[in-house]
Structure 1
Amino acid sequence: MMEFALLLLLGGVGPVLIAEALLARYEVLVYAAGWRTPTIVRPKGMPPARGADADRPPDAYLVYLDGIGKRRFHDTRDGGRLVKSLIDGAPELRVLGQVQPYSPLALPLADRPVWKWLRRHIGLVLFLHNVMQTFVAADRRYRPLYNRAVGSQIATQLRYAGYQPDSGIPVVMLSYSGGAQVATGAVEELWSQLRSPLWLITLGGFHNGANDISHAQHLDRLTSTGDRIERVGTWMFPQRWRLFRWSGWNRAHRDGKITVHRLDPATHVGPRSYISPKARLPDGRSHLDRTADTVIALIRDRLSATAESDGPVP
């Protein structure tokens, strides 16, 4: 009986996987051919950024790249709780959460007519679409195009939020799960366009380790022994293995650019995930509170260290 059920599942999901594998490349190829340009339109009433007052420069810009649950301009994975916690806890930051990490054309998946129908009838397809986009972003044949497309999207959104190239204000890219593939890939394009200090923070980061992050000043890796999905990524991508010494990830390790921070016993998803508002720690904080506190502390520590290294203004 179990074998029969498995065959039925594979029979139903298999064709969907094949179709998504073929379609996932379409958007990046359309971008490369110049047939369509990335959209810059946001929903009516949605500001280009939230947090620090737009009338004065913030201490840093924070770009949140969500996991594969991202389907809209708004932060949908957790109802926007993580972004809200960051804004509430660090009003000195200007936060952008509308970037579409799984769309080189910056098109929200849930707003496309055909996907609205699919969401009502075959919700699994939406999940698989973003999974496949993550693997397209990691594929060496499409990775440079994908990196340039999403890096340019982030740079454009930062400019609309008030970022001035060469201003010296840090840009922090906080990425969850597959968003780490996009964040590490966007580094080169962001540096090329904005020449900003770039800091990366990955939360349960799922990425192949091939991207060159030499223009990022540091990467803080938030992980947990309970995160099986991130651990799978470290096994399945050879560039994450120590044997591949010259991968972007291992070069960054040798340069001392990667620091690991443990958020045990959090899991990748589910009721005990990094962003769970219900799972509690011995100190009474929720997993969500601890994650937000950790991200804010890391940013403030680096801002302080940068200010000290620059010395007093004459």
Structure 2
Amino acid sequence: MNGVLLWVYAIGAALLAEALLARYEVLAYGARWRAPVTVLPEGVPHARGAAPDSPPAAYVVYLDGIGKRRVRDSRDGGQLVKALLAGAPELRVLGQVQPYSPLADPLADRRVWAWLRHRHAGLLLFLHNVMQIFVAADHRYRPLYNRAVGSQIATQLRLAGYRPGSGVPVVLLSYSGGAQVATGAVGALHTQLGSPLLLITLGGFHNGANDLTRADHLYRLTSASDRIERVGAWIFPQRWRLFRGSAWNRADRAGTITVHRLDPATHVGPRSYLSRTARLPDGRSHLDRTAETVIGLIRTHPGPAPRPGAAVRRRGSPSPPR
């Protein structure tokens, strides 16, 4: 019993400390106490897939869930990005963005977090990212957080070869809490890059308060078995139909949001959206279906209207999701 109480006290203290410190990074960004990190570790490319010298069909920025701790890692070991690259070589994919760090500073590379990780306190690493989602959703910090991560994405896109004003679509593919960051980055990306923006959320956990008027469309990939996404839709009033004036509900009425069902996938676990072992009746894995759905949505989504005098560039051949 004493051991259990010690764990309860330790977790409670960690929660309190994290709640107090979670705002520090976004405030440090706003006060310019620290400059955002732009340099990637040696050997990490700015993007993979299509070469930047001839415009790719689209640039895809993958914003991972709360498991994102490094430049390289992701919840599924990068399997979703690999599947996208294998199935759609015309795409240029970025996976290094740090959704839960306004300063673009990978969590696991910081000394204190490395110390905790070596002591098997990995739960605190997840706790940090969870707290960052709520900071990003807080109306007091949301504009600053959105600008910080939006600028981080814009910088990484430029370094990956994106040319502002080129008309090449930018796809924000987000998983779980990454949806809070993706919806918040729309304004900054439109201002800094002038790019057509397509959002694809996978089990998206977000508050529905971010303005989506600058996004071409948002595809919501979800499942009836995804309890975590349902919790997000329940705890944030802006997601409730009752609040018709919220940004989410305005976008829904405007036809900006389309729902795609990926039943019976779960949010996490052996039957998750990204599972390589869970099988559908047609023999595909959940990961295969998720990747094919994302690729199909990108390929079949109408491109932006060409500018006067601009040549029309052909996009990838349609491959609608099954």
For the aligned pair, the TM-score class normalised by the smaller chain equals over 0.9
**Aligned-CA RMSD value:** 1.8
Which residue of the partner structure matches residue 115 of structure 1? 113
Q: CA deviation at 1:124?
A: 1.2
What is the DSSP-based 3-state SS (H/G/I as helix, E as strand, rest coil) of the residue aligned with 1:154?
A: helix
CA distance in 2, matches of 1:237, 1:77: 24
Which residue of the partner structure matches residue 319 of structure 2? none
Structure 1 runs, 4 residues or longer, greater than 6 Å off? none
CA distance in 2, matches of 1:220, 1:251: 15
Asked if the contact 1:66/1:75 (under 8 Å) is kept, the reply is no
CA distance in 1, matches of 2:114, 2:175: 24
TM-score (norm 1): 0.95
Asked if the contact 1:221/1:259 (under 8 Å) is kept, the reply is yes
Which residue of the partner structure matches residue 26 of structure 1? 24
Q: Does 2:297 correspond to 1:306?
A: no
Which residue of the partner structure matches residue 253 of structure 1? 252
Q: CA deviation at 1:19?
A: 0.7
Identity among equivalent pairs (%): 73
What is the DSSP-based 3-state SS (H/G/I as helix, E as strand, rest coil) of the residue aligned with 1:273?
A: coil
CA distance in 2, matches of 1:231, 1:219: 18
Which residue of the partner structure matches residue 43 of structure 1? 41
Q: Deviations along 1:132-189, whole A, 9 cap, x unmatched?
A: 0000000000001100000000000000011111111100000000000000000000
Q: CA deviation at 1:228?
A: 0.2
Which residue of the partner structure matches residue 320 of structure 2? none
Q: CA deviation at 1:55?
A: 2.4
Instruction: Give the partner amino acid of 2:291.
Output: A
Which residue of the partner structure matches residue 283 of structure 2? 284
Of residues 130-139 and 111-120 in structure 1, the stretch that sits farther from structure 2 once superposed is: 111-120
Q: Quick one: which of 88, 91, 113 aligns to 1:90?
A: 88
CA distance in 1, matches of 2:91, 2:287: 18
Q: Quick one: which of 13, 17, 29 aligns to 2:15?
A: 17
CA distance in 2, matches of 1:13, 1:7: 10
Q: Which runs of 5+ in 2 are unaligned?
A: 314-322
Q: Which runs of 5+ in 1 are unaligned?
A: none
Instruction: Give the partner amino acid of 1:71.
Output: R
Q: CA deviation at 1:123?
A: 1.3
CA distance in 2, matches of 1:9, 1:202: 35
Q: CA deviation at 1:52?
A: 0.4
Q: Deviations along 1:256-289, whole A, 9 cap, x unmatched?
A: 0000000000000011100011111111010000
Taking the TM superposition and a 5 Å limit, the aligned residue runs for 1:55-204 are: 55-121=53-119, 122-204=121-203
What is the DSSP-based 3-state SS (H/G/I as helix, E as strand, rest coil) of the residue aligned with 1:306?
A: coil
Q: Deviations along 1:194-246, whole A, 9 cap, x unmatched?
A: 01000000000000000001100100000000100000000000000011111
Closer, same or farther in 2 for the Cα pair 1:253/1:158, shift >3 Å? same
CA distance in 2, matches of 1:123, 1:160: 32
Q: CA deviation at 1:54?
A: 2.5
What is the DSSP-based 3-state SS (H/G/I as helix, E as strand, rest coil) of the residue aligned with 2:216?
A: strand
Which residue of the partner structure matches residue 219 of structure 1? 218
CA distance in 1, matches of 2:103, 2:16: 22
Instruction: Give the partner amino acid of 1:69.
Output: G
CA distance in 2, matches of 1:219, 1:125: 32
Instruction: Give the partner amino acid of 1:145.
Output: L
CA distance in 2, matches of 1:196, 1:136: 27
Which residue of the partner structure matches residue 243 of structure 1? 242
What is the DSSP-based 3-state SS (H/G/I as helix, E as strand, rest coil) of the residue aligned with 1:46?
A: coil
Asked if the contact 2:169/2:303 (under 8 Å) is kept, the reply is no
CA distance in 1, matches of 2:254, 2:266: 29
Asked if the contact 2:164/2:195 (under 8 Å) is kept, the reply is yes
Q: CA deviation at 1:29?
A: 0.6
Q: CA deviation at 1:85?
A: 0.4
Instruction: Give the partner amino acid of 2:127.
Output: L
Asked if the contact 1:63/1:95 (under 8 Å) is kept, the reply is yes
Asked if the contact 1:59/1:169 (under 8 Å) is kept, the reply is yes
Q: How many residues align?
A: 309
CA distance in 2, matches of 1:313, 1:39: 36
Closer, same or farther in 2 for the Cα pair 1:313/1:78, shift >3 Å? closer
CA distance in 2, matches of 1:7, 1:212: 44
CA distance in 2, matches of 1:82, 1:27: 29
CA distance in 2, matches of 1:6, 1:244: 42
